[in-house]
């Protein structure tokens, strides 16, 4: 096979770069990241999960340090940032593994990774002052046995204050995010299970000039698994009613993950029996309609639920369907978008 001069120069450059990297990190296993790390849609989410699963498998069998080489990663979005930070933290806490990160050349990718604590080097923040970083991005995490997540999730929720001067918006966002974190502590990893350092929840937020995006993530059992156990007969009755109303077809006499997820979101009765609990997802959806545009996507098990305003393609605002693969835990991506004059 004949190679052009340009291809040969690139090959020599990559070989030289790898040799330099080996000299700098002689005791590390080097794992190269993708050029794009995103979870903006199910296809990209699946690709990100495959990359992180490959990374986790490698880390599980690694006895020494690992270098995650993101030097050529040109783009990374908020959701992928949270997932990557969670994967690294899981390896560090659960396996006591040393993981170093080679930061991307791309400035915005470095900025995002610095905020999420993935790495912090001299170039990570592009000389952006810390107070600016704190005003546009927030992330927090916790596990069972930690103090109540309320104070930490409120710091993330306060990003919403820039979208609406009203004092209640940040409180309502906080109530929803705090409920998501509390649900993880109560159900995702088992109520009676002892604390495990790798069994965590993550809540993050990103503010732009017109929108605030929030992400909640856990690696627990997932809503389709825990909801039937916790909601019991009331959820079963609702699923049967929705099956008759929508003409759903049962598979193996059991509802699908997407049917359980949709019914759970429509189920407004609190799991705990308390009036103020159990409405976190419904509060998220209700807030979307207050703004000119917004959406929520919930990935759990083999299901994805979506609610969007304005409705896409003149269709319904709400949809729920099989994901085509199993998401390990639950991922919530929630955006509130205001008109320019509102923000």
Give the DSSP per-residue string, 71-126: TT--EE-HHHHHHHHHHHHHHHHHH---EEEEPPSSHHHHHHHHHTTS---TTTTT
Range(s) for CATH 3.30.750 in the chain? Answer: 1-128
- pTM to 2 decimal places: 0.83
Range(s) for CATH 3.30.565.10 in the chain? Answer: 129-343
Please state which architecture CATH assigns to domain 129-343. Answer: 2-Layer Sandwich (3.30)
pLDDT at position 305, please?
A: 92
Low-confidence ranges of the chain (pLDDT < 50): 122-126, 269-278, 340-343
User: Residue 184 is encoded by which pair of tokens?
Assistant: 């993880």
pLDDT at position 243, please?
A: 64
The verdict on domain 1-128 having CATH code 3.30.750 is: yes
pLDDT at position 343, please?
A: 41
Of the CA atoms within 13 Å of residue 204, those in its CB half-sphere come to: 25
pLDDT at position 314, please?
A: 59
Residue with tokens 């000299």: 23
For the stretch 280-337, pLDDT in tens is: 677 788 888 888 889 999 999 999 999 988 876 656 788 888 999 999 989 999 999 8
């Amino acid at each position: 096979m004949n190679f052009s001069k340009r291809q040969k120069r690139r090959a020599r450059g990559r070989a030289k770069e790898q040799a330099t990297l080996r000299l700098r990190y002689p005791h590390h296993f080097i794992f190269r990241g993708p050029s794009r790390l995103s979870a903006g849609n199910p296809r990209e989410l699946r690709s990100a999960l495959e990359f992180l699963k490959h990374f986790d498998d490698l880390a599980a069998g690694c006895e020494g340090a690992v270098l995650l080489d993101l030097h050529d990663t040109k783009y990374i979005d908020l959701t992928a940032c949270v997932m990557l930070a969670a994967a690294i933290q899981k390896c560090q806490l659960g396996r006591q593994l040393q993981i170093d990160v080679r930061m991307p050349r791309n400035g915005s990718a470095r900025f995002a990774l610095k905020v999420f604590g993935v790495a912090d080097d001299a170039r990570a923040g592009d000389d952006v002052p810390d107070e600016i970083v704190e005003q546009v991005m927030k992330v927090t995490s916790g596990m069972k046995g930690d103090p109540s997540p309320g104070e930490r999730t409120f710091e993330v929720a306060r990003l919403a204050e820039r979208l609406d001067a009203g004092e209640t918006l940040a409180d309502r966002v906080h109530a929803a995010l705090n409920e998501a974190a509390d649900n993880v502590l109560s159900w995702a990893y088992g109520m009676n299970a002892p604390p495990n350092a790798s069994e965590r929840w993550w809540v993050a937020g990103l503010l732009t000039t017109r929108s605030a995006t929030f992400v909640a993530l856990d690696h627990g059992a997932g809503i389709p698994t825990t909801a039937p156990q916790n909601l019991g007969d009331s959820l079963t009755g609702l699923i049967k009613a929705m099956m008759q109303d929508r003409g759903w077809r049962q598979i193996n006499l059991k509802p699908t993950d997407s049917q359980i997820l949709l019914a759970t979101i429509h189920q407004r009765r609190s799991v705990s029996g308390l009036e103020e609990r159990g409405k976190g997802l419904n509060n998220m959806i209700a807030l979307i309609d207050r703004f000119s545009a917004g959406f929520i996507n919930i990935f759990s098990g083999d299901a994805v639920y979506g609610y969007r305003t304005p409705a896409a393609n003149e269709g319904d605002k709400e949809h729920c369907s099989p994901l085509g693969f199993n998401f390990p835990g639950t991922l919530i991506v929630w955006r509130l978008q205001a008109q320019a004059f509102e923000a």
